Amino acid sequence: MKKIIYILLSLVILACSKEQHDLTVKVHVNGLKKGVLYLKKAKNDNLITIDTVAVNGQSDITLHASSLESPEVFYLFLDKNSSEKDQIVFFADKGLTEITTSVKNFGFGAKINGSEQQKVFEEYKLMRTRFNEQNLDLIKEGFEALKKGDTSEYNTIQKKSDSNLKRRYLFTVNFALNHKDSEVAPYLALTEIYNAKVKFLDTINSVLTPKVKASKYGKELQGFIDKIKESEK
């Protein structure tokens, strides 16, 4: 009996001694032979490293993060022992996130399977890409107009560019309102339209569900709005 109790106590101690992780990120990078992967997140306007894995031949890598109180954005960086660095931005919740990508298209061709917030985030990014592509086309057209010295055409293009920006802002506001139960909503308000009129930020903040309001980005959005209002007094 004493031996059984000793074994059970040993198992309990062993289990308690193991580090507990809120988030596990499994990464598969096709073509990666050597380099370093960094898992990072934002803290006080800086990116801090949460976990690091040196790669030397293996293509399957596992990284971890602890103390994840609510869903938030993480950054996966690849340093290929050169001057070139790539990154993947993803929304993670507690549990498992799986990322499959390649060395060649590390930051652009990644497939991410994980949180519900990531699905919403990808939906937004798809539309944002369309706005960005339109803006790049307008910049190119504006440059050509300047080369020709056509001020009238350039001014017309600038108006189109301003209109495109307003449409992106309004789309972001509507997207956040339609996803008030997702932590992606306050995150977009803080990162995509932080310089918009405070009434837009206030509108998003007012409809967030209690759970989202209590999240990391929900609290940050409330604090951000409070600061703006205080500075306007």
Question: Which of 114, 137, 152 is at the close of a domain?
Answer: 114
Please tell me the predicted confidence (pLDDT) of residue 4.
Answer: 53
Same domain, 90 and 144: no
Q: Is residue 79 located within the same domain as residue 146?
A: no
Say whether pLDDT at 126 is over 80. Answer: yes
Confidence of residue 82 (pLDDT cuts 50, 70, 90): low
DSSP class of residue 44 equals T
Instruction: Tell whether 143 is covered by a domain.
Output: yes
User: Which residues touch 189 (CB under 8 Å, ≥6 apart)?
Assistant: 172, 176, 200, 201, 204, 205, 221
- For 41, the domain range is 20-114
This prediction has a pTM of 0.86
What count of Cα atoms within 13 Å lies in the side-chain half-sphere of residue 43? Answer: 6
Residue 199 domain-assigned?
yes
Lookup: tokens for 6: 């000793």
Question: Is the pLDDT confidence value at 179 over 50?
Answer: yes
What is the domain count for the chain? 2
Which has the minimum average pLDDT: 12-26, 49-63, 95-109, 129-143? 12-26
